[in-house]
Amino acid sequence: MRLLLFGFFALALMSAPSHASDDLRDAVKADYGYLFDLYKHFHTHPELSFQEQESAKRLSKELMGLGFEVSMGVGGHGVVAVLKNGDGPTVLIRTDTDALPVTEQTGLPYASTAKAKEQTGREVDVMHACGHDVHMTVWTGTARRLAAMKDKWAGTLVMIGQPAEERGAGARAMLNDGLFTRFPRPDMNLALHVSANLEAGRIGYAEGFAMANVDMVDIAVLGVGGHGAYPHATKDPIMLAANIITTLQTLVSREVSPLDPAVVTVGSIHGGEKHNVISNRVDLQLTVRSYKDEVRKTLMDGIARIAKSEALALGFPKDKMPIIKVRDEYTPAAYNTPALVQRLRPVWQARFGEGRVVKMDPVMGGEDFGRYGRQEPRIPSFMFSLGAVDPATMAAAKAANEKLPSLHSSRFAPLPEPTITMGVEAMTAAILEVLAPEN
């Protein structure tokens, strides 16, 4: 029994966080009051994609005061802040700035009551339901630490506040506006994202693919309408749409290797207005997800082939072939460069304890951070996960076999502390590692 107890306590000590005082941890803790106020500001002033003007102004003001050279209006409401500190690598640190059209139901005293007009002109409630308010706060806190610790690193920081991540458009807009030509091109890219499945006080990482290629595809299934009592005189687009939906599933089950993740989901189908009327058109909306580019090509080519082949098989005329439209909001897979992951993981394990640095499975969600690393020549990149769930809340949910609110939920409420301080310390420690001065 004594040996068992000794083994248990030894394991607990190995997994426990380091409580040793150091300059970075002490400085982050001392800065928390300022950062918490900043977080509440961002949380109560959320802005929709393409409307992040005030958030951009606040980020710019914060970094101008720290001595960064700041440019606004990059790719819309994008912010680029550059701090040069001698010879060394160039590192990009990204935060996203947009919020979502969600009505907050967290019950927090600082819950958002903001409203805005969507692109359609419809007025909606707005909430930072994806944690971008945490991201902006950690980004600012990291800038504050690094500006105060210039004797500990050498190189160039390129810190960007990216708009329109939720639309999958912000990274592309900033790149198209000269992010890597007007400003120093990075040698590596870093970012973080809060996790709704990880306790606050922990860091998660995936090595290799972390998030998926995401495509949105619209299919207009055309037909020749008529009376429901005389189907032989029509070409029924609902029947064709049903065949297309069924056959699309063979792309994943029969054309993609079982070892390669892939998803083809028909999320919306609209057609017809009345029981006895065969309509002229059915509209399908698809989400298509993959990791590898070759798998993505198989899926996208297959969708077009299946839609048209099914129409031909049912004898639809050539002028009634389905119309396939791939939306512009494509986001490429986020790939965490293994060498960069392997370099930073032990830094965090030494600082926080091995038990607080957790390997996570990749997900089929999308994130346009991956676009920065795909610019040729490709740039090593790493987005890590930042635990944001109150440990007591997670324990209670597990005990009751209940699911926690996910990202984008109206009830998603990150635990500010230690989420914010953990994020600042982790990102700052990562920069101090990759920009360590040469002896």
Question: For residue range 53-81, what is the model confidence (pLDDT) as tens digits?
Answer: 999 999 999 999 999 999 999 999 999 99
Question: For residue range 209-258, what is the model confidence (pLDDT) as tens digits?
Answer: 999 999 999 999 999 999 999 999 999 999 999 999 999 999 999 999 99
Residue of 165, 310, 368, 425 with catalytic role = 165
SS3 labels along the chain = CHHHHHHHHHHHHHHCCCCCCCHHHHHHHHHHHHHHHHHHHHHHCCCECCCCHHHHHHHHHHHHCCCCEEEEEECCCEEEEEEEECCCCEEEEEEECCEECCCCCCCCCCCCCCEEECCCCCEEECECCCCHHHHHHHHHHHHHHHHHCHHHCCEEEEEEEECCCCCCCHHHHHHHCCHHHHCCCCCEEEEEEEEEEEECCCEEECCEEEECEEEEEEEEEECECEECCCHHHCECHHHHHHHHHHHHHHHHHHHCCCCCCEEEEEEEEEECCCCCEECCEEEEEEEEEECCHHHHHHHHHHHHHHHHHHHHHCCCCHHHCCEEEECCCCECCEEECHHHHHHHHHHHHHHHCHHHEEECCCCCCCCCCHHHHCCCCCCCEEEEEEEEECHHHHHHHHHCCCCCCCCCCCCCCCCHHHHHHHHHHHHHHHHHHHCCCCC
Please tell me the distance from the alpha carbon of residue 104 to that of residue 418, in angstroms, as a whole number.
Answer: 22
Q: How much is the average pLDDT of 261-273? A: 97
Residue of 31, 62, 98, 104 with catalytic role = 98
- Radius of gyration of the CA atoms of the chain, in A: 25
End-to-end CA distance of the chain: 50
Please tell me the distance from the alpha carbon of residue 367 to that of residue 371, in angstroms, as a whole number.
Answer: 9
Please tell me the distance from the alpha carbon of residue 185 to that of residue 305, in angstroms, as a whole number.
Answer: 40
Please confirm, yes or no, whether 98 is among the known catalytic residues: yes
Task: Tell me: pLDDT of 9 over 80.
Answer: no
Confidence at residue 106, expressed as pLDDT on a 0 to 100 scale: 97
Question: For residue range 222-233, what is the model confidence (pLDDT) as tens digits?
Answer: 999 999 999 999
What is the average pLDDT value for the chain, to the nearest integer?
A: 94
Confidence at residue 4, expressed as pLDDT on a 0 to 100 scale: 37
The domain segmentation of the chain, as residue ranges, is 18-212+333-434, 213-326
Q: How much is the average pLDDT of 154-177? A: 97
Ramachandran class of 408: left when φ > 0, alpha when ψ lies in -120 to 50, beta otherwise: left
Confidence at residue 329, expressed as pLDDT on a 0 to 100 scale: 80
Question: For residue range 384-407, what is the model confidence (pLDDT) as tens digits?
Answer: 999 999 999 999 999 999 999 999
Please tell me the distance from the alpha carbon of residue 34 to that of residue 207, in angstroms, as a whole number.
Answer: 34
The fraction of the chain above a pLDDT of 70, given in percent, is 95
CATH topology of domain 18-212+333-434: Aminopeptidase (3.40.630)
Task: Tell me: pLDDT of 3 over 80.
Answer: no
Confidence at residue 21, expressed as pLDDT on a 0 to 100 scale: 55
Question: For residue range 338-361, what is the model confidence (pLDDT) as tens digits?
Answer: 999 999 999 999 999 999 999 999
Please tell me the distance from the alpha carbon of residue 299 to that of residue 212, in angstroms, as a whole number.
Answer: 13
Confidence at residue 12, expressed as pLDDT on a 0 to 100 scale: 40
Confidence class for position 15, pLDDT limits 50, 70, 90:
very low
Confidence at residue 439, expressed as pLDDT on a 0 to 100 scale: 55
Q: How much is the average pLDDT of 295-317? A: 98
The amino acid occupying position 371 is: R
Confidence class for position 119, pLDDT limits 50, 70, 90:
confident
Confidence at residue 438, expressed as pLDDT on a 0 to 100 scale: 81
213-326: in CATH 3.30.70.360: yes
The whole-angstrom distance between residue 221's C-alpha and the CA centroid of its chain comes to 32
Kindly report the pTM of this predicted structure.
Answer: 0.91
